[in-house]
Amino acid sequence: MKNDNKTIAVKMLEPGGNITPVFILLAVILIIAFILDILLGSVSIKPAEIFRVFTGNADTNIETIILRFRLPKAITSLVVGIALSLSGLQMQTIFRNPMAGPYVLGVSSGASLGVALVILGFSSSFVPGNLQNLGNWVLVISAWAGAGAVMILIMFISSRIKEIMTILIIGIMLASGISAIVSIMQYFSSETMLKTYVIWTMGSLGNLSGGQLKVLTITVAAGTILSIASVKMLNALLLGENYAGSIGLNIRLSRLLIFACTSILAGSVTAFCGPIGFIGIAVPHIARNLFGSSDHKILVPGTIMAGGIIMLISDIISQLPGNENILPVNSVTSLIGIPVVIWVILRRRKETGIF
Amino acid sequence: MDTESNKIIVLESLRIGYSSGKHTKELIPPITASSDSGELIAVIGRNGIGKSTLLRTLTGLQESMGGRMFLNNKNIGEYNRMDLARKIGYISTEIVRAGNMTVFDLVTLGRFPHTNWLGRIDRASQIAIENSLKKTGLTTFRKRNISELSDGERQKAMIARVLAQDTDIMIMDEPTAFLDISSKFEIINLMLELTREGKTIIFSTHDFNVAVNQADKIWLMLDSGLLEGAPEDLMLRGSFDHLFESAIVGFNSDDGSFTFMKEPRGNIYVSGEGIIRKWTERAVVRAGYNVSAKEIDITIKSPNHRDRKWMMVTKESTEHFDSVYDLVRRLQR
């Protein structure tokens, strides 16, 4: 039992080790990934061109590619990565469940239902036109409501059932049930609405309008600030609710705050980029092992950086550098995230710790 | 008589229980009890009587169903959550499982009610953490992952966490439940030391001997209500007789032990001296016989050295045995 930790090669730091070099390393990788995401794609851009864009004497085509497409997409990737990873970290701590994440527990599906209600339900009967014409805030708030509803449902279930895998299976059932409802709605909706919705479900980082990116950035920034403010609560919740209550934590208030925060983060991303899987569940585990810590003062910034990096890398892969085609980003994140999840499940068989 | 001022906890007709939805269940008749500062109080009673519920109610994790509860002569309702967390610490049998959490991290969480919104560890907290690690003998364990601790070490780490919380009162629900014998006494010894330094410790236990031999006071929870007093007072009042409302087990108030009530198979006199005679007598009782005070038909002569033979003399025969084991086997035939 005692030597289990040593068998994990990925572990960079033993608990209590020096974390500063890891933060510096992550910051450097984050910056490199961000620049690469701008440079690589169907048209490769030389690093020097970026400087020319900002000094104002670049080729107009390249300027358009960078400012209109690549830069917004890179920012979207960064924001999406941060939001999904943070919501995953919070869910894992509050449910004390290493398998929790917005996608696997159906929170993203809940947000999808909210979006589907707007796109397929209301818009087809009241508002002609496409997704762009809808109020961005209407979209985002309906996603929050859907995500929040699922969060409350899962909390209710997990207060009765403590078994981690059972909750996971119920989460999958919830997600399936919601997609069944959405399928029925699709059946009754018009062709144009259906097309809008199907494209949305494929998940995309590049289709956001300027207004949408603004709404996404504002809401994720708000969620991130809330996450940082809830660091002490998250640490106390690691003890479980009884001990957390006995050291003075207001369980109900902190749960409400963290739920709101998770719903905002996961809901906003789902509203504009579609359901993107496995980032939320995988990144917190990567951060935990990079820093060898359970302290959210370290894990929150660590997860923010790791989440940004992984999402930028996913985006780089999905643009297939030097190729005209673009892969659905959801597939890329799944392929990156699933091995991490399997590794966590396999490791759990040996370790007694929950995370 | 009593001056109310040094009573740290006073319970007046406190009613405990739980409610789920419309259904409420009260567990034991209203409780009236108190604790002086620096006392070690053992809460004993059968499973399901409400020991954990009482301890959770004292900690403020659960609402009482009526009655009053005073802490330092102030009604508990006047304390807010954080004030209460600075007065009362709590340890249950629940095991904290969090990956990558070190002993130091765990103990640090005890500072929760003393730190700012980010949980920053200031100088005072640092000193408190170091002291509680030292007191529990865990200084060298600070970087150890809590999932790698033995049961005894884990319990010490939990105690260190509550010490860092710097409370006057510690509530412990079955602190020795999963421990081996030596860890058990280490923890009990630590608890005794802490009460000598002024902490008030209220703990529940199923270990009757620990409660009777170590506690300053026992809160005995029976279906008829809670009785409090020094172990010896309760013993002399015959209160423990009610602990087992069963025909199988009897309580012996001479030495505070429990025995199985069964019809003796007969009487046997044991001769001999000292410790060998004493243990031979116990073996005779275990085999289902009464130990007779005066010589009768069956006599067992215990040897004066454990390498010699035991002798059983009856009217018909004399038998020799190499060990108590062989003797008991013969008696049970």
Q: According to DSSP H, which parts of A45-116 are helical? A: 47-55, 60-64, 71-94, 107-116
- Using pLDDT thresholds of 50, 70 and 90, give the confidence band for residue A218: very high
Q: What tens digit of pLDDT does each residue of B266-302 get?
A: 889 998 888 999 999 989 988 888 888 888 888 898 8
Q: Assign A129 a pLDDT band (cuts: 50, 70, 90).
A: very low
Q: pLDDT by residue (tens digit) across A285-340?
A: 999 989 988 999 999 999 999 999 999 999 999 988 777 788 888 889 999 999 98
For testing contact with chain B, the best of A243, A298, A349 (most B CBs within 10 A): A243
- Residue in B89, B99, B112 closest to A288 by CB: B99
Per-domain residue ranges of chain A: 2-348
End-to-end CA distance of chain B: 60
Within an 8 Å CB–CB cutoff, is residue B208 touching chain A? no
Residue B232 has pLDDT above 80, yes or no: yes
Residue A166 and residue A172: Cα distance in Å, rounded? Answer: 10
Q: Any idea which of A248-252, B239-243, B329-333 has the lowest mean pLDDT?
A: B239-243
pLDDT at position A67: 86
Q: Name the residue with higher pLDDT: A15 or B114.
A: B114
Of B102, B112, B142, the CB nearest to A247: B112
Interface of A with B in 28-87 (CB under 8 A): none
Per CB-CB distance under 8 Å, the chain B contacts of A288 are: 99-100
> Scanning every residue of chain A, which has its alpha carbon at the shortest distance from the alpha carbon of B79?
A248
| Res B1: pLDDT | 45
Q: Which range (A49-58, A67-76, B177-186) has the least confidence?
A: A49-58
d(CA B86, CA A264): 34
In chain B, % helix, strand, coil (3-state, to 5) comes to: 35, 25, 35
Q: Which two three-digit tokens encode residue B315?
A: 């009217």
Instruction: Report the distance separating Cα B282 and Cα B302, nearest Å.
Output: 12
Q: pLDDT at position B59, please?
A: 95
Mutate to test the interface with A, among B108, B145, B153 (most CBs of A within 10 A): B145
Residue B331 CB burial class (10 angstroms; 0-12, 13-18, ≥19): buried
> A87-117 pLDDT, tens per residue?
999 999 988 888 888 888 888 889 888 888 8
Find the CB nearest B100 among A96, A243, A288. Answer: A288
pLDDT-derived band at A122, boundaries 50, 70, 90? low
Of A153, A171, A156, A159, give the one whose Cα is nearest residue A241: A159
**What is the nearest CA distance from A28 to chain B, expressed in angstroms?**
25
Whether B96 has its CB under 8 Å from any CB of chain A: the answer is yes
Report d(CA B67, CA A145) in Å as an integer.
42
pLDDT of residue A170: 84
B162-206 tens-digit pLDDT: 999 999 999 999 999 889 999 999 999 999 999 999 999 999 999
**Searching chain B, which residue's CA lies closest to the CA of residue A287?**
B100
Of the residues B83, B100, B132, B153, the best mutation for testing chain A's interface (the one with the most A CB atoms within 10 Å of its CB) is: B100
pLDDT, mean over chain A: 83
Using CB atoms, pick whichever of A238, A289, A292 lies closest to residue B98.
Answer: A238
- Burial of residue A267 (CB within 10 Å: 0-12, 13-18, 19+) is buried
What is the number of alpha carbons within 13 Å of residue B183 lying toward its C-beta? 15
pLDDT tens digits for B120-158?
A: 889 999 999 999 999 999 999 999 999 889 999 999 999
Given CB atoms, is A235 within the 8 Å cutoff of chain B? yes
CB contact under 8 A, B61 and A249: no
pLDDT of B194 reads: 95
Taking alpha carbons only, the member of A302, A230, A299 closest to residue A261 is: A230
Helix axes A164-188, A107-116, angle to 10 degrees: 10
Instruction: Please give the pLDDT value at position A268.
Output: 92
The closest CB to that of B89, out of A246, A294, A353, belongs to: A246
Q: Is B20 on the interface with A (CB under 8 A)?
A: no
Average pLDDT of the segment spanning B75-100? 92
Q: Percent of chain A, pLDDT > 70? A: 88
H or E element in which residue B222 lies: strand B217-222
A239, A248, A294: residue with CB nearest B99: A294
- Which A residues, 293 through 352, put their C-beta within 8 Å of a C-beta on chain B? 293-295, 297, 351-352
B145 touches chain A (CB under 8 A): yes
* Highest averaged pLDDT of the listed ranges A342-346, B10-14, B207-211, B257-261: B10-14
Q: What does DSSP say about strands B217-222 and B200-204: parallel, antiparallel, or unpaired?
A: unpaired
| Domain A2-348 of CATH type 3.30.1110.20 | no
pLDDT band at B306 (very low <50, low <70, confident <90, very high): confident
Q: Residues of chain A with pLDDT > 90: what percent?
A: 37
Question: Which residue among A2, A247, A288 sits closest to B109, beta carbon to beta carbon?
Answer: A247
pTM: predicted TM-score of the whole model, two decimal places = 0.85
Per-residue pLDDT tens digits for B235-244: 888 888 877 6
Q: Cβ–Cβ of B59/A292 closer than 8 Å?
A: no
Mean pLDDT of chain B: 90
As a whole number, mean pLDDT of residues A33-42 equals 90
Average pLDDT over residues A56-82: 89
Interface A:B, Cβ pairs < 8 A? 109
Q: What angle do CA B312, B313, B318 make, to 5 degrees?
A: 85
Whether A242 contacts chain B with CB within 8 A: yes
pLDDT one-digit tens code per residue, A187-207: 887 787 777 777 777 667 887
